[in-house]
Chains A and B, each alone.
Chain A
Amino acid sequence: MSKPLIGILLGAVLGILDGLTSLMYPEVAPEIMGILIGSSIKGMLAGIIIGFVARKVSNLTTMIVVGLAVGFFFAFIVAYLNSMAGQTYWLEILLPGSLVGAILGYATQKYGSKPKGKVQTT
């Protein structure tokens, strides 16, 4: 399985699980479907980007940092949009979102195959 595909699949699963944790806050329960859809799309987008980076990078620490950064970036967008809508869940979105990114960075580095190099003919 390719690294971007692992990123997409794992990103979707972790995104849904991350979204489900919002049920810890009863006030957002009515919006759970929207949260789950948004969270899984966020996970898939982060996963595909991290997966493509993992194809080029062969360093676990670097990939965890890249994952953290990408996860933080998407979480920031979601948190910002939420704040625009009058909801302030900065830490609740940024911290877990970044950690999900780090997990994606680790998983895409450790698992999945890199594309085989092209043989150049002269």
Chain B
Amino acid sequence: MKVLRSEIDSEATKERMLREARILAKLDHSNIVPVYDLGTLGEERVYYTMKFLEGKTLAEYTLENTELLDLLRVFIRVCNAVAHAHSKGVLHRDIKPENIMLLPYGEVMVVDWGIAKAGVESSDEANQNDFKFSSSSFTTSSTTIESTLLGTPSYCAPEIWKSVPDSGTFPPKYTISSDIYSIGATLYYTLTGRPPLVANSFGELQRLSAGHSPPPPRTLQQEIPRPIEAICLKALSASTQHRYTNAEHIARDLQLYLDGYEISAYKENMLERLVRWTKRNAFIVLLLFVYVLVRILLFFFSLL
């Protein structure tokens, strides 16, 4: 049961909590926690009830589990949950490793829909109310900035950063593409253990984001497969036109990779194609090898 504490019972927090409950009620997906009930207690304190989640965040899980295939399987479910939300016109707007929960029996849940927004094509007025930007509120790369910029700085898309109040493009317009960027940034963290852009201050992060050059994941972890790096970098593309258009497409590419097929984000050379085919068809390659070996051995025996 989630109840608003009386000391933070402002209209804004009440609205945020109500919005989270209403949005969750719209979403029916196995990787999104369902809301059971919504109402008010005495003194108009808002509450809602939902499934109690006990587990680890993806950030914690990544520290303990470095098995890439496991992490990718988790990530596919995250993408599917976000794709479902997008299909219902809901933007999460704060996708990050801390907002993904892994439960003891392998369930994956995308949580914290408190700043999510229903109606992807929302009016500018609604955006204006949502985004009151304050550079002094920067805390850490993993902390959501309350009541100011919505989202977490290190996981925010560059186009959101460009929408600071003095840039003339305020308020920022969150889109499916900005959620896709956050998915890419989260995948980056999952692969490398750090967000794509790391800075010591809000201003530095803003400058870095303007240049937007996260180091390719393989420069930090050489064992990351090139196709996975390509998926990550495509989702993190500075240009929204070069990003995936749908979270489902990221999930599909990840699943294709896991199944040993070519992905859309990476053009492989002949050798890579051959290696991938051999891995996918390892047993038939082994049988053919045994066949050739048997033939050669029989031939040499016949010479004796």
Q: Are the CB atoms of A91 and B283 closer together than 8 Å?
A: no
Measured CB to CB, the closest approach of chain A to B287, in angstroms, equals: 5
Across the interface, do A106 and B298 meet the contact criterion of CB distance under 8 Å? no
1/0 per residue, CB under 8 A from B, across A30-58: the answer is: 00000000000000000000000000000
Complex alpha-carbon distance, A110 and B290, angstroms? 19
How far apart sit A22 and B215, CA to CA, in the bound complex (Å)? 57
The answer to whether A103 and B287 touch (CB under 8 A), given A24-B299, A92-B302, is yes
Q: Is B295 positioned at the interface, with any CB of A under 8 Å from its CB?
A: yes
B290 touches A99 (CB 8 A): yes
* A99-B294 CB under 8 A given contacts A106-B283, A106-B284, A107-B284: yes
Is B291 among interface residues, defined by CB-CB distance under 8 A?
A: yes
B8 at the interface (CB under 8 A from A): no
Nearest to B301 among chain A residues (CB) is A91
Which residue on A lies nearest to B295, using beta carbons? A21
B residues 285-304 in Cβ contact with A at 8 Å:
287-288, 290-291, 294-295, 298-299, 301-302
Select B287's contact among A21, A91, A95, A106, beta carbons within 8 Å: A106
Q: Are B294 and A96 in contact (CB under 8 A)?
A: yes
Task: Determine the distance from Cα of A115 to Cα of B222 in the docked complex, in whole angstroms.
Answer: 45
Does A78 interact with chain B (Cβ within 8 Å)?
Answer: no
CB nearest neighbor in B for A14: B291
| Given A100-B291, A103-B291, A95:B298 Cβ within 8 A | yes
A102 CB within 8 Å of chain B: yes
Interface size of B by CB at 8 A reads 12
Distance in angstroms between the alpha carbons of A96 and B295 in the assembled complex: 7
Q: Contacts of A106 on B, CB cut-off 8 Å?
A: 283-284, 287
B289 CB → nearest A CB, Å: 10
Cβ–Cβ contact A102 & B295, under 8 A: no
Contact in complex: A103, B294 (CB < 8 Å): no
Contact digits for B254-296, partner A, Cβ 8 Å, 1 yes 0 no: 0000000000000000000000000000011001101100110
A103 to B287, CA, bound (A): 7
How far, in angstroms, from A107 to B283 measured CA to CA in the complex? 10
Residues on B with C-beta less than 8 A from A92 are 298, 302
CB of B261 to closest CB in A, whole Å: 14
Chain A residues lying within 8 Å of B298, measured Cβ to Cβ, are 91-92, 95-96
Cβ B302 vs Cβ A25 within 8 A: yes
Interface membership of chain A positions 87-102, coded 1 if the CB is closer than 8 angstroms to chain B and 0 otherwise:
0000110011001101
Complex Cα gap A71–B18 (Å): 68
Apart from the given pairs A95-B298, A100-B291, A103-B284, 12 other A-B contacts in the complex at a CB distance below 8 Å: A21-B295, A24-B295, A25-B302, A91-B301, A92-B298, A95-B294, A96-B291, A96-B295, A99-B290, A102-B287, A103-B288, A110-B284
- B positions within 8 Å CB-CB of A: 283-284, 287-288, 290-291, 294-295, 298-299, 301-302
Chain A interface residues toward B at CB < 8 A: 21, 24-25, 91-92, 95-96, 99-100, 102-103, 106-107, 110
29 contacts across the A-B interface (CB closer than 8 A): A21-B295, A24-B299, A25-B299, A25-B302, A91-B298, A91-B301, A92-B298, A92-B302, A95-B294, A95-B298, A96-B291, A96-B294, A96-B295, A96-B298, A99-B287, A99-B290, A99-B291, A99-B294, A100-B291, A102-B287, A103-B284, A103-B287, A103-B288, A103-B291, A106-B283, A106-B284, A106-B287, A107-B284, A110-B284
